[in-house]
Every structure is written in structure tokens, then in C-alpha cells.
Chain A
Amino acid sequence: MDYAIEARDISKHYGRRHPRLALDRISLSVGEGQLFGLIGPDGAGKTTMLRILSTVMEPSSGQARVAGFDTRKNAEKSRPLIGYMPQAFSLYPDLSVIENLNFFADINGVPHARRDERIVQLLEFARLDRFQQRRSALLSGGMRKKLALACALVHDPKVLLLDEPTTGVDPLSRRELWEILAQVVLQGVTVLISTPYMDEAERCHQVAMLHQGELLSRGSPADLARNLPFEVIEVKARPRKAMRAIVEQADGVADWRPVGDRLRLSVQKGNGNGNAKRILKNLQSQFKRQNVDVQLLRPSKISMEDVFVYLVGQQRGNH
């Protein structure tokens, strides 16, 4: 398989006297045409990684190749093939939608005939055609992100690097953005997207989980879930105090945490899934004995958040 993005042992530290390690020997590779998710909370190093891959910043050590060119030695060759959308709104606020698009097309050397055709396409695609003349300062948050995305796509890049495009965007616009991205991927563009939202990881072909500058794990969401040595049980019951007491003392529950009005319990994977079933039964009888009103008690699909929480726990154990 050909890789559109390959990073080897990328490290980055900021500051000279008291260097702070932002990235610690990160390696990852993204196959051509894939949708790759860089998942992690704030401060994980996602923005630094994207800046390095987009040639905006140089790594302290390590190498990266994007669209076939070394981002350090051959930055100018890879730049025309990259579309980059920084995290912060970074268009010209006093220019209109169409002026911003024209500017980024021209500066990337898109021929005029192609430019106009492409912009019409993108405006429709991002549903911005009605707002062409509006200054970008006056656009809503979601529309700004879509315009930024359109600007990053205006020169038909091979690789699209998006830094938290869905952060701070309303759920509707968020869905819209993902729909647009799905189409971009269909057209053969390799997309690397960073996000702090674990649920968005499920939409990616491959993900890498980043925490405090370290790579926790990478693979397809399904693989990550499969590799988790736990199964998950979901419980909702009243009174909650009693529910907690039972869960805390229950045999075989390795960990639990509240999510909304429920508890998610991690139980060790046994032979097949017999272990989970046994624990489920056990809990049920205990709840009954203590007169707890059970509203929900069932095995649950493993979420990316479960994986992340587990991996962060592992990382802490290692340190």
C-alpha cells in the first residue's frame, strides 16, 4: 500500500531553557485515500503534529513525508499537494467569501478557468453559494469552518490536513462537515483530521490516539475495540446510591465510571464472553435482593472513549 502520509519518530519540544515535550517520538502512516483520525484531548499534541505535517513547523527530530515529499527538505514540493486548515479561524475577515476563495486559488496558482469552475463547485458543496458576497467576519461559526475547508480544497490537494474542524461547531454543522468530508474521501483525497471528540473516531478508517504527546495506540476503530481486554456493561438503576454500592463490590468488575445517568462497567474478558454473562447475572440477582429498581442492564458496544480511558490508565501505570 502506498502511504500519503508517513511520519517517523517525530518529536517536538518548545522552549529552550525549560523544554516542554509536545510530541514524543510519534510514528504513523496513512494510506492513500484514507480518512485518518488523530484523537486526543486538548494538549495532546494534535495541533503540533498537524503543523509539522503541513510543513508550517519543523520537528525537533524525526522525519515526515507527505504526498511523497519530505516535509523538511522538500517542503516547497509538498506544499502544492497539501490542503491545510488550521484550528483557529484563519481567513481574512474583511474579505468576502468569494474573495477569500479567489485569493487562495490564485496564490496556489490555480488556472483561472479551473478556478471559477472549482469555486462554484465548492460553494455548492459547502452550501455557501447564497453567502458569496458576505464578509467572512460576519459568517456564523459553522459557515466559517465550511469556508475554511473550501479554501483548503480550492487547489485540489492530494492530502487534506484538518485541525479540529468540528470543535466549537453546532451539532448540525458538525454533521454537515462530516458529510462533506465523506465526499472528499470518495474523490480520492487522503484526509487526516484531528478531533477531541471520541465519537468522531468511529467515522475514520484508521485512528491514532494521542495523549500528552505520546501515541497511545493506533489502528482501525474496530481493531482498537477488539484489542481491549475488557467488555463493557451498561447499568441504570435507582436508587443510585445502592446501585453504586453494589457495583463497587461486585465480583469481576475491574473499573467503572459514570456516563450521563448510567454507569459503564469494565469487566475482564474471559473465555469467549462467558465472563460478562456471568457477571451480568450476578448483578441482576444482587439488585433484586436489595430491591433496586433496574431500568437498564445490558452488555454495551465498546466505544472509543472506553478504549481511550483504558489506554490512559495503562499509560499512567507505565510511568
Chain B
Amino acid sequence: MERLFTIMRKELFHIWRDPRTMAMLLLLPGLLLVLLGYGVNFDREHTPMVIADLSKTDASRRYIENFTASDDFDITYDALSEDEILSLIDDDQVDAGLLIPESFGRKVAAGETVQVQFYINGATDPGDVQAIRLKLSSISQVAAQNILVEQLQRTPQGALIQMPVDALEKTLYNPDSDSKLFMIPGLIPIILQIQALILSALAIVKEREQGTMEQLIVTPIKSWELMLGKIIPYLLVSILNLFALLWLGDLLFGVGVAGSFWQLIGLSVVFIIGSLGMGVLISNISQTQMQAIYLAIFLVLIPAIILTGLMYPRDDMPWFTYIYSELLPVTHFLEITRGIMLRGVSAASVWASTLPLIGLSLVYFVASVLAFRKRIV
């Protein structure tokens, strides 16, 4: 036990000692969240759009101009009815639609509020749906303000001030995807994965390259003491980052934890332990630090980003890719963070993800201890 603390103390020294390492460990994960959180969400332009203008008046055309003038949307079709809009979305020809009712011109002229209807293709990427929705409503708001200004100029006094256009929206195919920044709960597992894996992938192989492993072998330390002594300090660093990421997600993106906060933390710790175990396993089978980094990036990190459902759905994968992604703890953890953070479900109700996460984490951790041999070859 004494020896376990000795190793832990030494590892913490390594981290504290170098201010640059320390800064990287604590600041980069948050920076990445900000970078990707903004970067991936709001960069969609030229979304194909269909407009059905049943009013065909000056007022409706001026309202539509706001959409045609924007780079965000390309008006690729004119339609004559709601059915036509729906069938275009159905055929995947457009991702957004707008229906302007016949009464538009008349109601605007009369100073009444008129309802327009937006349609969004919910079957596209969740991040895109969110981006389209935000853009449609912001453009509509600008257009409505313009109309309001005109109305005020015409009847300067005593006018009833009310918004002239009320935008209703309908998301098709995925109506309850309250994908309010679907990205954030996905990014948190990925960022934790990167950090935990890289840290621990170097843990053993660094001692080997430095030559200090030879000295450690000639001491009474037990394999599990050495492995745990390496893992626990990194676990502490990762937990610190977990809190920072959750806090940033809430502060900057407004994504809080809808479900149980402590269940999320508990499962995160399980996930981090599994990731660290996976890293130590990589470290054990590598001869040099470069090999370890290669294995970490190619075997785990790239698949973690592409194959886990962070950006692309996993349903259409060929079976071997699917199985591979099932073997990554991050795949299951991602389901859990989305479940607990967004949908507010309990850990028990996502058991199909919780059980594999716990099982895999345990396997990787135990394997990492067993793989270590107190010899050099």
C-alpha cells in the first residue's frame, strides 16, 4: 500500500513539476470543447429550401427576399401547396420549407399577426437540424422587424405594436429530437477519451524508454501497485476535467445535465478507469512512446470520433465496423451522456449502454494489470 502511494506521489510530481504539462492537461480539453462546440454546430450554408408563396403579394415577396438574400439558404424550388413541400422533403430534395398563407398580404396590410409555417427535415444530421432551425427563425425575425418598421412609418401614432409574423415550425421525421446542441454531450466523452488514453498510453513505456523501468523491476513493487499508482493520478486529472467540461457546456452552450448529476459522474469515473486501463494496456505492449501514440490514435481515437455515433449514425455500418465500435467503451458512454444530459433518463434505463460500459472498463483495466510483466525482453 505504502508503495502505491509512493508511485502516485511521483506521478503527481511529474505533472506538477512542469507548468507546461500542467497547463496542457487542464486547459486544452476545455479549449477543444469550445472550439468544436461552436465549430461543428453552426457552419452549414446553402441549405436547399422550398418556398410556397400562396399570397403572391408585395409584402410576401419582401418577406421572402430575406431568405433569398442570405447565404444560408438556396431557394431551389417554388411550390404551390403544403403537399408539394412535404413531398420534396420526403425525396430529400430540400432540408427546409416555408409556407406563406394566402392571407399574408392582407393581414400585414391590416396590421394583424399572420402565421407562416416552416418545415425542417429532421432526418439530416442533428447538428444541422439545430443550425437550420436557428437560422430560419432568426431570418424570419429580421424580416418581421422590417415589416413592423414599415407599418410604424405608415401609421406613426397610436398603432398597436405587435409582431406581424408568427413563425410556426415543424420538424419532420424526428420531431422530438430536442437536439439542442446535440454535440456537447457527444464531445465530452471524446475529449475525456483522448486525454485519458494519451496520458496512460505513455505511462509504462516512458519508464521503459527512460531506463527507469529496469530500476523499478529490481524493487519489491507489485504489478497492480505500479498500475494503480499510475492510473489514480490520471484519474484525478480526468475527473477535474470532467467537471470543467460540464461547467463549460452549461455556461457557453446552455447544455446542463437533465438527469441525475451524480449518476453521470459515477459512470464517467467508470468510463475513465476503462480508458486509462486501455491506455496502460497499449503502453504495456509498446516498446517506444511513438509506438504507443500510434496505437492510441489509430486503434482508439480516430474510431472514437468516427465510429461511435458522435457524428454519423451507427445503424448503417457493416457488421465488423459495428462490432469494433461496440468494443470501445466510449461508444456506450456516449449513449449514456446523451441519455442523462439531454433526455434526463436514469442510468438504469440506459442499461443497454451501462452494462457494456462497466463490463468493458473492467476487462480493459484487469487486462492492463495482467499484461504487465516485471521483466524486460
Residues of chain A whose beta carbon lies under 8 Å from any beta carbon of chain B: 51, 54-58, 75-76, 79-80, 82-84, 86, 88-95, 99, 103-104, 106-109, 151
Contact = CB atoms under 8 A, between A and B. Distances in A.
Interface in B206-231: 210-212, 214-221
Given A86-B211, A90-B211, A103 B218 contact: no
A84 B218 contact: yes
Contacts of B18: 94
B3 interface: yes
Nearest to B13: A95
Contact of A51 (B2, B6, B13, B376): B376
Contact of A84 (B14, B17, B214, B221): B214
Interface in B325-377: 374-377
Contacts of B46: none
Interface in B1-44: 2-3, 6-7, 9-10, 13-14, 17-18
A120 to B, nearest CB: 20
A72 to B, nearest CB: 10
A99 B6 CA distance: 11
A273 to B, nearest CB: 48
A109 B376 contact: no
Nearest to A112: B2
A276 to B, nearest CB: 48
Interface of B: 2-3, 6-7, 9-10, 13-14, 17-18, 210-212, 214-221, 374-377
Nearest to A94: B17
B7 A107 contact: yes
A57 B6 contact: no
A94 B16 CA distance: 10
Contacts of B14: 92, 94
B212 A90 contact: yes
A54 B212 CA distance: 14
**CB-based closest 4 A-B pairs:** A90-B211, A106-B6, A84-B218, A88-B211
Given A57-B375, A94-B13, A109 B214 contact: no
Nearest to B374: A75
Contact of A109 (B7, B212, B217, B220): B220
A90 B2 CA distance: 23
Contacts of A86: 211, 214-215
A109 B210 contact: no
B189 to A, nearest CB: 31
Contacts of A90: 210-212, 214-215
A109 B2 contact: yes
A79 B214 contact: no
Contacts of B211: 86, 88-90
A80 B220 CA distance: 6
A54 B13 contact: no
B219 A107 contact: yes
Given A57-B377, A88-B211, A99 B13 contact: yes
A160 to B, nearest CB: 11
B217 A56 contact: yes
B220 A56 contact: no
A104 B10 contact: no
B7 A79 contact: no
Contacts of B214: 51, 54, 56, 84, 86, 90
Given A108-B219, A109-B2, 8 more contacts: A51-B376, A54-B217, A55-B375, A82-B218, A86-B215, A89-B211, A93-B210, A109-B220
Given A106-B6, A107-B3, A107-B7, A91 B219 contact: no
B3 A54 contact: no
Given A92-B10, A107-B6, A151 B377 contact: no
B223 to A, nearest CB: 11
A107 to B, nearest CB: 5
Contacts of A91: 212, 215
A103 B375 contact: no
13 contacts: A57-B376, A57-B377, A84-B214, A84-B215, A86-B215, A90-B211, A90-B214, A92-B212, A94-B13, A99-B13, A104-B215, A107-B3, A108-B219
Contacts of B375: 55-58
B17 A56 contact: no
Nearest to A106: B6
Contacts of B376: 51, 56-57
Given A58-B375, A90-B210, A94-B18, A109 B215 contact: no
Nearest to A89: B211
Contacts of A75: 374
Given A90-B211, A106-B3, A107-B7, A56 B13 contact: no
Contacts of A80: 219-220
Nearest to B7: A107
A88 B6 CA distance: 23
A101 to B, nearest CB: 12
A13 B9 CA distance: 38
A106 B219 CA distance: 10
B171 to A, nearest CB: 54
A20 B221 CA distance: 32
Contacts of B10: 92, 95, 103
Contacts of B2: 106, 109
